[in-house]
Structure formats: structure tokens, C-alpha cells
């Protein structure tokens, strides 16, 4: 772990616990900070708070009292806490810096960081990059929004390794000096407006991944996304591109049914087992990133000929009476669901619904051509039923939850159909996480047998 004096004797408020708050509070104490922890969950229901209190930290639970800002030099907040929180609004007025634990991870990491963000495909791309590095015999660790806390991984990562870090806009918005060696924005689509307020603010948060890069760093750029290209133009990083439609001199592309990088043929598309046209972007982006770390074509080919996807992201679950079931619970926005629908050319039954973030779903209509039935659930059920009707889909059923949706879909299906959970919404109206929603879908499928 790299030593830093940035936090020595600083009064640091860790706002919100969960895994990231627990990890960064411990790290900050190790780095010499005076740590105060504040979490909404009552202490008697909060084992992490009790653990930190035993380590000598001041812990306040149950509310966010304004006196916490007295003599505070820095706030490290849980990414999910919005800036509309009154305590954070007051901190902004007082010009107290507000960061997320990703910034602290960067400060202590001896390893280079490959950082991945985007509206869709982050987890698949992060996993592919990690797998390709490992397949080539390189030391690589995976961290960030994919499930392992960045500041925890950064403490353990040796200097000759690389951390492959999936980052959300929430995490990036709390960065100041964060500068990955390789930064990648997959795509940009209107999302999380309940948090950011406007699409421009959402895009600005994503763009922070490139902001501090210099010529010795690499920015991987989606040449098919004008907004990504615009963000990259403001960066001093060396640019490497990927494109699904253009032949490139500098980057990853498709030609003659093969994937190429610069003038090298890497792998035949016929040998790639990951389904869906949208995954080609993820694959090209991954290749562009690992090629900048010297990964061989053999290692890339080994991964692409065996990697079938990550859990909850267009995950094949099972076949029952010649109906194929796919779990795409991680599709929490319209773009993700539209990509999933494009992956199938056979009759499809779509299971969708969840938290209502105020958006409509009209952008899905062009992608419903192969959809024969829609099963809805959650807060957005009426909106999804409206667009299904506009698309001319005759079978539309509303159910109470995902488990019921599986049974309703099966009863509406025929041999050869795909039954696809791709909600186009966050899960929080009914489920704690998209993972829980996806696991319930998987169990319901297995129960059909």
C-alpha cells in the first residue's frame, strides 16, 4: 500500500456505511485520520457501526445531525447518498470537500488502475478485461461497483499488478485527483436522472474518468458514441478507439467476420460464444484495453471462446420443454433491455418492470418486434403495458412479482420461445438488489421443473 499523508490528523466524516463505508473508515484510521462515522441505521441493528466504535471511532447512528460538520475537513460518502441530502447541501455551502472511497483507493494504490464506466455493459467488460489479463499470466484484481470495495482491494494490490475497477457515475462524482492508467467509457445513455437531475450532469460525472489523465495514460473511446467522443476530446490521454462499424488504424474493430486490433487479426467472430450484438462493443472495448497492457491474442482468444457471460447479465439459466430462459436482471435501464432484446431473433416473452424513476419507455418500442408477450410487475407496470399495446403485442399480463411472472410467461409460451427477464428498471420497489431479483427468477425457473 502506498503511504499518503493527505489524511493525517484530518477530521474525516464517513457518511453511510455498507461495505464501502466500513472498509474506507478502517483505512482512513490506518492513514492517521480522526474518523467519525454517521449512518442512518440504528446502532442496535448495525454491526458495522458497533465494530468501528470498538476500534475507537466516534459513531453516530439514526440521523444526520448538522453538528457533524463542525471542524470537519473532509466527507467520504456512500455513493448511493444523493447530493440533495441536507447534510451534504450544507457541506457544499461550507466548501467541505466530498469524495467517495474510490478517491482514497487511488491515493493508496501501488498498482495501475484500469477503470471502466458507461451506461450499459460495465460488468461484462470489467470481467472480460480481468479474465484476459489473468489468461495472459498477469497479476490482476477486480474491484469497484462489481462487488469488491475498491479501497479494500487497493490496500492489498502489489505494484506489479493491475486493478480492474468498475465505476458508477455515483462513485465518479466523488473523485478529485483520481487518474486511472487506462480509462474506458463504453456508452452514454439517459440514466439515473433521479440522482443527477439532468442528463448533462450524468454525463459530466461519467467524464471524470478521463479528466485527470495525461499523455502517458490511455483513454479507450467508443467511436460510435458522439458524447463519449466529446468527453474524450477534453482529455490529454492517448486515445485508442473501438468501433463495430468502421475499420480503424488505431483500435479494435470488425472486418471479414473477424475481430482486429490495429493491423492484427485477433479472433474469428464464429468462435466467440458470448451472445448478443451489444456484447461486441464490450468485447472490442476489452480488447482495446488489454492490448495496451501487452496481452497476447492467444489469451484473448482463450477467454472469448469460453466466456458465456456474467450472472444477471443475459445469463442463460435453463431450457424447459424447449423454452430457453435468460436472466438479465442487471438491465436496470431502457438501453440495457433494448440491447438484450436485439440478442434474440426468435419469439420472445419479456418480463419487465420495477422502480419508477419518472421516465417513459417509448424508446423500447422499436426493439419489441420479436416480442410475442409482455409480463409486467412493479411500479412501472402500467407504463410498460402502454408501450406493449402501442407495439401491437396482444398478450400483456400484469403480475405481482418476478416469481409469478415466470409462471405466467411459461403458460404463454411455445416450443422455441425465449423467456427473458430484462426489467428496464431498478429493483428497489420490490427487491433489495437486482441480484436478489435475478436469483428469485433463477429459482422460479428451476421450480418449473
The answer on 374 and 266 residing in a single domain is no
pLDDT category at 261 given cuts 50, 70, 90 is very high
Q: Is 43 annotated as a binding residue?
A: no
The DSSP 8-state label assigned to residue 295 in this structure reads -
**Residues 298, 323 within the same domain:** no
119 annotated binding-site participant: yes
Which CATH number goes with the domain that contains 91? Answer: 3.40.50.720
User: 30: Cβ–Cβ under 8 A, 6 or more apart, which residues?
Assistant: none
Q: Could you tell me if 108 and 24 lie in one domain? A: no
Residue 309 belongs to a domain: no
Q: Do the beta carbons of residue 108 and residue 31 sit within 8 Å?
A: yes
Task: Say whether both 52 and 67 belong to one domain.
Answer: yes
Q: pTM for the complete prediction?
A: 0.80
Domain end among 242, 270, 304: 304
∠166-169-175 over CA atoms, to 5°? 85
Q: Is 174 annotated as a binding residue?
A: no
Tell me the C-alpha distance between 139 and 314, whole Å: 28
Find out whether 109 and 131 touch, Cβ atoms under 8 Å.
no
Structure confidence at residue 343 (pLDDT): 86
Element (H, E) at 77: strand 74-77
CA 230 to chain centre: 21
367, burial (CB in 10 Å: exposed 0-12, middle 13-18, buried 19+):
middle
Label residue 239 exposed, middle or buried (CB < 10 Å: 0-12, 13-18, 19+). Answer: middle
pLDDT of residue 120: 85
Instruction: Tell whether residue 120 is among the known ligand binding residues.
Output: yes
Residue 190 pLDDT more than 80? no
11, β-bridge pairs: 34
Domain termination residue (choose one: 99, 114, 147)? 99
Q: pLDDT of 203-233, one tens digit each?
A: 999 999 999 999 999 999 999 999 999 999 9
* Whether residues 114 and 237 fall in one domain: yes
Residue 3 domain-assigned (yes or no): no
Q: What is the mean pLDDT of residues 301-319?
A: 89
Q: Which residues contact 402 (CB under 8 A, 6 or more apart)?
A: 351, 377, 421, 430, 431, 437, 440, 441, 444
Mean pLDDT of 392-400: 97
- CATH code for position 329: 3.90.190.20
Q: What is the pLDDT of residues 108-140, one digit of tens each?
A: 999 999 999 998 889 999 999 999 999 999 999
Whether 4 maps to a domain, the answer reads no
Measured CA to CA, the distance from residue 388 to residue 371 in angstroms comes to 9
226 assigned ligand-binding residue: no
DSSP string, 232-268: HHT--SEEEEE-SSS--SSEEEEETTEEEETTEEEEE
With respect to residue 151, please indicate whether it lies within any of the assigned structural domains: yes
Residue finishing a domain among 78, 99, 120: 99
Residue 397, domain extent: 315-448
Q: Are residues 265 and 123 in the same domain?
A: yes
Residue 6 located in a structural domain? no
Beta-strand pair 182-185/218-222: parallel
In a domain, 253, yes or no: yes
Element (H, E) at 356: none
Number of domains composing the chain: 3
Amino acid at each position: 500500500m502506498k503511504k499518503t499523508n493527505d489524511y493525517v490528523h484530518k477530521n474525516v466524516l464517513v457518511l453511510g456505511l455498507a461495505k464501502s463505508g466500513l472498509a474506507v473508515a478502517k483505512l482512513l484510521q490506518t492513514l492517521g485520520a480522526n474518523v467519525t462515522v454517521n449512518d442512518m441505521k440504528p446502532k442496535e441493528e448495525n454491526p458495522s457501526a458497533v465494530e468501528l466504535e470498538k476500534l475507537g471511532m466516534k459513531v453516530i447512528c439514526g440521523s444526520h445531525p448538522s453538528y457533524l460538520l463542525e471542524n470537519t475537513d473532509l466527507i467520504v460518502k456512500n455513493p448511493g447518498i444523493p447530493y440533495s441530502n441536507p447534510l451534504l447541501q450544507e457541506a457544499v455551502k461550507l466548501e467541505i470537500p466530498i469524495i467517495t472511497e474510490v478517491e482514497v483507493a487511488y491515493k493508496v494504490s501501488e498498482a495501475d488502475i484500469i477503470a471502466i464506466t458507461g451506461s450499459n455493459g460495465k460488468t461484462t467488460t470489467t470481467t472480460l478485461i480481468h479474465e484476459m489479463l489473468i489468461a495472459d499470466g498477469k497479476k490482476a484484481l477486480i474491484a469497484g461497483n462489481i462487488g469488491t470495495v475498491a479501497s479494500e482491494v487497493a490496500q492489498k494490490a502489489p505494484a506489479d499488478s493491475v486493478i480492474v475497477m468498475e465505476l458508477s457515475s455515483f462513485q465518479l462524482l466523488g473523485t478529485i485527483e483520481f487518474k486511472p492508467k487506462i480509462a474506458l467509457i463504453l456508452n452514454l445513455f439517459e440514466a439515473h436522472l433521479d440522482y443527477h437531475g439532468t442528463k448533462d450532469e450524468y454525463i459530466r460525472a461519467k467524464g471524470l474518468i478521463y479528466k485527470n489523465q495525461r499523455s502517458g495514460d490511455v483513454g479507450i473511446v467508443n467511436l460510435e458514441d458522439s458524447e463519449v467522443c466529446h468527453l474524450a476530446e477534453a482529455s490529454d490521454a492517448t486515445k485508442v478507439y473501438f468501433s463495430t462499424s468502421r475499420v480503424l488504424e488505431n483500435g479494435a474493430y470488425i472486418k471479414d467476420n473477424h475481430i482486429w486490433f490495429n493491423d492484427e487479426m485477433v479472433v474469428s467472430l464464429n468462435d466467440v460464444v458470448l451472445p448478443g450484438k451489444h456484447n461486441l462493443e464490450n468485447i472490442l472495448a476489452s480488447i482495446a484495453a488489454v492490448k495496451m497492457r501487452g496481452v497476447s491474442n492467444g489469451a484473448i482468444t482463450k477467454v472469448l471462446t469460453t466466456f458465456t457471460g456474467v450472472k444477471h447479465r443475459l445469463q442463460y439459466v435453463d431450457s424447459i420443454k424447449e423454452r430457453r430462459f435468460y436472466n438479465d436482471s442487471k438491465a436496470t435501464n431502457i438501453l440495457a433491455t433494448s440491447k438484450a432484446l436485439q440478442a434474440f431473433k426468435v419469439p420472445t416473452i419479456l418480463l419487465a418492470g420495477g422502480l419508477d424513476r419518472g421516465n417513459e419507455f417509448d424508446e423500447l418500442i422499436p426493439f419489441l418486434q420479436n416480442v410475442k408477450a409482455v409480463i409486467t410487475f412493479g411500479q412501472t407496470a402500467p407504463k410498460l403495458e402502454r408501450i406493449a399495446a402501442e407495439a401491437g403485442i396482444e398478450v400483456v399480463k400484469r403480475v405481482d412479482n418476478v416469481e409469478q411472472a415466470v409462471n405466467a410467461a411459461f403458460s404463454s409460451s411455445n416450443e422455441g420461445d425465449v423467456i427473458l427477464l430484462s426489467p428496464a428498471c431498478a429493483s428497489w420497489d420490490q427487491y433489495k438488489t437486482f441480484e436478489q431479483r435475478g436469483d428469485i427468477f433463477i429459482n422460479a425457473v428451476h421450480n418449473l421443473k
